[in-house]
Structure 1
Amino acid sequence: MTRTVKPPVVDHQLSRLFGRDSLYMVLWAVQLLGAAILTPVITRVLGSGEFGVVASCNAVMQVLFVVGGFGLQTAIQRQHELPHGRRDAAKVLAVSVALTASVTVAALGTVAFWARPLDMLDQLVALRISVVWAGLSAITGASLALLRSQERLPAFAAVSLFQSVVAEAASLGLIAWQHPSAENFLAGQTVAQLAAMVLGLMLAPPRSIDRRDLPMVADAVRFAVPLVPAVLGTFVLSTADRLLIQGAMGEDAVARYQVAYNVASMPLLLLSVLHSTWMPRFFALADGENRIRVLAASRDILYRLLVPLLIGFAAGTPLILRVWAPPSYRPESLSMVVLLVVVTAVPFAAHLAVSRALTARDRTADIAVCTLVAAAANVALNIWWIPRFGLEGSAAATLVAYCLLSVVLTVRARRWAPVPASDWRLRLQLAVAVAVAIATVELSADGALMWVRAAIVAATITWFARIVLPVVRR
C-alpha cells in the first residue's frame, strides 16, 4: 500500500527550500547584482574589443572549471548525507583539490596547443590567467559545497562574496588605474579568487585519506564523473555560443551578445544556484513519495514565479539595456536577444527539476547522455542560424536546445524518477506569459510608453512577492 504524505510535511519542506535554503541563492543574487552594477562601467572602460576577449576567456574558464572540478562538488554534498558524512565529505574535498590542481597544471602546459583552434593565439596571456582563475574557482566551489552542506551560512557568505563582489571591484580597479585591457581585468578576478580559495579551505579544511577510504572515494568519483560531461553539455548549451559567434561575426559581436546575455541570463543563473543549494535537502529526503511530492511542488512554485518574472523582464529590457550598454553596442537592437534568453528560463527550470530527481537517485549518467544530445543540437543550430539570423539566431538555438533537453530528460526519468506533470492550467499561464512578454518587448520604449513599462515592472515585482512570501511563512 502506498504511503500518503500529509500536506503539512510537504509544506514544511517547501518552507525550508524557499526559506533558509534560498538564503544561499540570495547571496549569489547579491553577487550577480554587484557584477551587474559594474557591467556598464566595465563595458565603457574596456571597449567592445577587449570586453569581447574577456567574454571568450570567461567561456574557456568555465569549461576548465567544470573539467577540473570533476563533478565532485555535488559528490561532496551527497557524501555529507551518508553515514560518516561530515568526515568523508572533507576527504572528498581533498580529492577534489588534488584533481583540480592536476588539470590546471596540464591546461597551463598545453595552452598554446588548444588556443589555435579557438583562434586565440594572440591572447595567450589572457588565456593563461583564465586557466589559473578556473582552477582556483573549482577548488573554491568544492569548499563552498561543503560549507553549504554543513549549513554554515556566514562562512559561505564570506567566501562567496569575496570571489564575486571583491573580484569585480579588483578587476575594475586594475583596468581603471593601470591599463584597460582584458589581461588586467582577468588578473583582478584571479587574485581575488585566490584569496577566496584560501579562505574557503581555512573554513572548510580537507581531510587526508588513507587506504581504508579508497572504496568511499571510488564511489564518490563513480557518482561524480558523469556530471562532468553533463555540466560540459550545459556549458555548451549556455556559453559555447559566444565562441561560435566570435568565429562567425568577430569580437565586437561577442561583446554585444555578452552584454545582452548578462542581463537576460540572471534568472537562469539564479535557478542554477538554487538547484545546487537545494540538492543537500533532496539528498537528505528519504527516497519515495515524500521526495517526489516535494520535487513536484517546488517545481510548480518556480513555474508560478516565472510568470511575473517573464513579463517583468520583457517590460524592463529596454530600460536595462540603455543603462548596461553604451551606444556603440546598439542596445536598441538587442531586445529580442534578451527576450529569447529570458524565455529559456522555462525549459531550464523544467530540466533542473528532473535533474534533481535523477541526481538524488544516483542516475547521473542519464543526465550526461541527455545533456550531450541537447548540446550537440545547440551547436548544430548555432552553426546553421548565426549566419542567417545573427545574434537572435544564436539565442533562439539555445532556447530550442533547452526545450529538447527538458523533453528527453523527462522521458528518461519516467523509469527511474517519475515526477508528476504540472497542472495544465499552470502550463497555460506560462504560455500566456511568454506571449505577453513577446508582445511587450515589441512595444516602443519612448515617451509615455517608457513609464508604462516601468509600471509593469513594479507590478510584476509585487506579484512575485505575493507568490513567494506565503510559501516561506508556511
Structure 2
Amino acid sequence: MSPLRRLASQTALYGVSSILGRFLNYLLVPLLTYSFDPAEYGVVAEFYAYLSFLAVISTLGLETGYFRFRAGGEWPPTIVYGTVLTCLILVNGLGFLAFVFWQEPLAVLLRHPEHPEYILWFAGILLFDAIGALGFARLRAEERAIRFAAIKLIEIGANIALTILFIGIARAAHLADPGSVLGSLWDPGVGIGYVFIANLAASLLKLLLLSPQLVDGLGGFDLLLLRRLIGYSLPMVIIGLAGIINETLDRAALKYLLPYDDATNMAQLGIYSACYKLSILMSLFIQAFRYAGEPFFFNYAKQQDARAIYALILNGFVIASVFLFLLVTLYLDLFQYFVGADYRSGLDVVPVLLFANLLLGIYVNLSIWYKLTDRTLMGAGVSLIGAWITIGALLWWVPQYGYWGAAWAHLVCYASMVILSYLLGRRYYPVPYNLKRVLGYIGLGIGLYLLSRWLVSEGWPALGIGTACLAVFGALAGWEIRRLLKVA
C-alpha cells in the first residue's frame, strides 16, 4: 500500500472514533442547550477550557517523546513505554492529591464557591485521561487503529448514555415524580454538574479498557532515558500550552473580558461556545489526522521520498478541510438547529472559526520540521508567539467587539503561526510544498462560499445554491485526490 493511502486509511479509522464518536457526543448539544439557559451552559464551556490547559500539563509532552524515542531505536520500545508510564503515574497521582486538598479555595478562586465538588470531579477526569493517553499512544504506535477506535467509541457512548440518563430521563422523571426510582437519580442542586459526572464515569471505563496496555508496560524504567525524554518533551508542554491558549483561552477568559455584568457575560460565553461547536467537524478531522499523522511522520522520516510524500499529504489535507468548511457554511441554515434558539444570535462567527481551524490544520502539517529535527524549543517559540498574539487580540478586541473579537483572534493567531512555521521549515527541513495548489484550493473554497452568500442575498434558494457550490468543489476535489493517490 502506498504511504499516502496508508495514512488516509489510518486517518479514516481514527476518524471513526473521533469524528463519528464526537459527532454523536455533539448531538448532546441540543439536549444541553434546550435544557439549560446560556449562563448555565457557560459553566460547562468554562470548566472544559480549564481542563484543556491542565491536560497538556498532565501528559508533560511525553506522548510525542514516546513516539520519538520508540522510533529512534536507542532503547527497546518496552523500556521507553515503561519509563513514560511510571513518570505519568507519579506526577498525576501527586497532582490529584493536590486538587483534593485545595478544592474549596480553588472553587472560590473560580467564582464557584457553592460547587467545590466540580474541582474533585475534574481532578479525577484529569488523572484518568492523562494515564489513558499513553495507552492510546501505544495503540497508535503499533497501528492498532481498530482497537483504538473501539475503546474511544465505548468511552464516548458511555458518556452520551449517562448524560442522557441523568439530564434527559432522570430530570424529566424527577419533575413528574421526585420519589420514583429514576427521579431519585436527579438532584436539582447538581444540575449541569451531571455533565461532569458522566464524563468522570466514562473516563474511568476507558482506563479499565486500556488496562492490558497499561499493565503490560509496568516494570520497565531507565533514568537516563527519562532525562532524555524530559529534555525533548518539556518544550512540547510549552507548545501544547500555547496551543491551548490559542484554542480555548477565549472561552476561559470571556467572562472576565466582556464589559457586562456576570450573568450577561456567562450568557454570551454560552452562546459563543454553542456556536463554536458548529465548527466541530473541522476540529475532529484535524484530531483524527493528528492521531494518524504523528506516528506516520516519525516512522516514514528515513525514507528517500519522505519530503515529497509530506508535500502531497498537505495537498490532500487542505482539500478535505476546505470541503468540510463548505459543508458547514453552505448548510448553516440546517446546522443551526443543533443549538437552541437562544444561542443562534452567534451563528455569524461560525465561518470565521471554521477557517481559523483550517489554518490550524495546515500548521499541524507544517510543524514536522521541528519534531523531526529535534528543534522542539524553536517550535515552542512559534507557539508562544501565537499565544501572545491570541492574548493581545483578546485583550484588545473582546471588550470592544464581544465574542467576535475572540473569533478573529483565532484566525489572526493561526495565520501568523502558519507563516512562521513555513518560513522556518524552509530553512531547517525543506519540504517541496506546492503553494500554488494549496492556496488555489483555499481560494476556490472561499470564492464559492462568498458566491453562495451573494446569490442567497439576491433571492436564490440557500439550499439549492449551497448544494451546487459543494458539488462543484466536490467534483474538482475528487479528481485531485485521485491524481494525488496515483502520484504517491
- TM-score normalised to the size of structure 1? 0.89
The counterpart of 2:348, out of the listed 336, 359, 381, is 336
> How far apart, CA to CA, are the structure 1 residues paired with 2:132 and 2:376?
23
> How far apart, CA to CA, are the structure 2 residues paired with 1:328 and 1:30?
27
Deviations 1:302-352 (A, max 9, x none): 12223333222210122101x1111121x1x32321000111133212211
1:380 is the counterpart of 2:358? no
> How far apart, CA to CA, are the structure 2 residues paired with 1:108 and 1:412?
43
AA in 2 matched with 1:275: R
Paired residue for 1:152?
144
1:64 is the counterpart of 2:78? no
The counterpart of 1:422, out of the listed 434, 439, 463, is 434
Paired residue for 1:188?
198
Paired residue for 1:7?
none
Deviations 1:256-310 (A, max 9, x none): 1111111114313321331232111111124475322222110121122233332
Paired residue for 1:326?
340
Paired residue for 2:410?
398
The counterpart of 2:13, out of the listed 23, 28, 40, is 23
> How far apart, CA to CA, are the structure 2 residues paired with 1:458 and 1:126?
47
CA gap of 1:399–1:292, structure 2 versus 1, over 3 A, is same
Q: Please say which structure displays the higher CA radius of gyration.
A: 2
The counterpart of 2:227, out of the listed 189, 207, 218, is 218
> How far apart, CA to CA, are the structure 1 residues paired with 2:321 and 2:286?
10
- TM-score normalised to the size of structure 2? 0.86
1:19 and 1:472 in contact (8 A); partners too: no
Matches within 5 A, 1:451-466: 451-454=464-467, 456-457=469-470
> How far apart, CA to CA, are the structure 2 residues paired with 1:446 and 1:50?
38
1:256 is the counterpart of 2:271? yes
2:21 and 2:153 in contact (8 A); partners too: yes
1:361 and 1:417 in contact (8 A); partners too: yes
> How far apart, CA to CA, are the structure 2 residues paired with 1:370 and 1:387?
26
Paired residue for 1:90?
81
CA gap of 1:431–1:125, structure 2 versus 1, over 3 A, is same
1:307 is the counterpart of 2:316? no
Paired residue for 1:3?
none
Deviations 1:170-221 (A, max 9, x none): 122222312472211100111111110121122443534567x111222122
> How far apart, CA to CA, are the structure 2 residues paired with 1:350 and 1:146?
25
1:126 and 1:182 in contact (8 A); partners too: no
Alignment gaps of 5+ in structure 2: 171-185, 259-264
Deviates more, 1:265-274 or 1:54-63: 265-274
1:361 is the counterpart of 2:353? no
Q: Which secondary structure does the structure 2 equivalent of 1:215 belong to?
A: helix
1:75 and 1:220 in contact (8 A); partners too: yes
Paired residue for 2:162?
170
2:139 and 2:145 in contact (8 A); partners too: yes
Paired residue for 1:45?
35
Q: Which secondary structure does the structure 1 equivalent of 2:305 belong to?
A: helix
What RMSD, in angstroms, separates the aligned Cα atoms of the two structures? 2.6
Shift of 1:94: 3.0
1:264 and 1:341 in contact (8 A); partners too: yes
Paired residue for 1:267?
282
2:242 and 2:383 in contact (8 A); partners too: yes
> How far apart, CA to CA, are the structure 2 residues paired with 1:100 and 1:446?
58
1:64 and 1:135 in contact (8 A); partners too: no
AA in 1 matched with 2:462: L
> How far apart, CA to CA, are the structure 2 residues paired with 1:421 and 1:36?
34
Query: What's the % identity of the aligned pairs?
Result: 20
Deviations 1:145-177 (A, max 9, x none): 111111223321232112223212212222231
AA in 2 matched with 1:277: A
> How far apart, CA to CA, are the structure 2 residues paired with 1:163 and 1:171?
12
Paired residue for 2:178?
none
> How far apart, CA to CA, are the structure 1 residues paired with 2:147 and 2:13?
13
Alignment gaps of 5+ in structure 1: 1-10
Deviates more, 1:131-140 or 1:281-290: 281-290
Deviations 1:405-438 (A, max 9, x none): 1122223333322223423243133123224324
Deviations 1:3-24 (A, max 9, x none): xxxxxxxx82111111234312
1:434 is the counterpart of 2:426? no
> How far apart, CA to CA, are the structure 1 residues paired with 2:460 and 2:425?
50
> How far apart, CA to CA, are the structure 2 residues paired with 1:446 and 1:103?
58
Task: Work out the number of aligned pairs and report it.
Answer: 460
Paired residue for 2:174?
none
1:233 and 1:371 in contact (8 A); partners too: yes
AA in 2 matched with 1:433: G
Q: Which secondary structure does the structure 2 equivalent of 1:362 belong to?
A: coil
Deviations 1:77-113 (A, max 9, x none): 2233232543124312232232222223223333444
> How far apart, CA to CA, are the structure 2 residues paired with 1:468 and 1:357?
25
AA in 1 matched with 2:156: S
AA in 1 matched with 2:141: S
The counterpart of 1:237, out of the listed 234, 240, 246, is 246
Q: Which secondary structure does the structure 2 equivalent of 1:129 belong to?
A: helix
> How far apart, CA to CA, are the structure 1 residues paired with 2:412 and 2:229?
33
> How far apart, CA to CA, are the structure 1 residues paired with 2:377 and 2:458?
47
CA gap of 1:472–1:114, structure 2 versus 1, over 3 A, is farther
